[in-house]
Amino acid sequence: MKIIVGLGNPEKKYLRTRHNLGFMVVDHLAQQLEMECNQKKFQSLFCKKAIKEDGEIILLKPQTFMNLSGIAVKEVVDMYKCALQDIMVVCDDLDLPLGKMRIRRNGGCGGHRGLESIAACLGTTEFSRLRVGIGRPTVGDASDYVLSVFSEKDEAVVMKALEEASQSLKIWVFEGIEACMNAFN
């Protein structure tokens, strides 16, 4: 079983904001895999599909708001008794340029409150993460910036990032973290 968690905030007003890039990646991947995250389970929007001969993939979009994402992730991990190496969390990253990706087997949270919540609820940072860059604002407050929508000029970069992130997740699911990191880092 593989669990892919996209981080974001529920509610329509956050739909296309930078902080919802994790949700956008999961939605893009779901479309490619002919899945739809519309079932409400684990305080999340959830979907599950059989893959390979002996496995399943779960896509999860916690509806607990970013800073409480760990509650939803812990519920699904506990239910399915999923190994930590079979969890991939997708989130935005202020410290990466717009559209750039970084995939890690584990590591720190880098001040990302969603990752911090997951680490606190799971009691470890030993889960994989795919960070997708949103860039850092040159002026103004970072919290206002992450909750702002992408500009029209950023849309092409964002669409390319969604495609690359989806491709990287498929490699992670079918070939593992090493192949994923080698192909995209």
Q: Which residues are catalytic?
A: 19
Residue 30 and residue 45: Cα distance in Å, rounded?
Answer: 12
Task: Give the β-pairing of 87-93 and 44-51.
Answer: unpaired
Is the distance from CB of 90 to CB of 129 less than 8 angstroms? yes
How many CB atoms neighbour CB 142 within 10 A? 11
Q: Taking every pair of C-alpha atoms in the chain, what is the biggest distance, in angstroms? A: 51
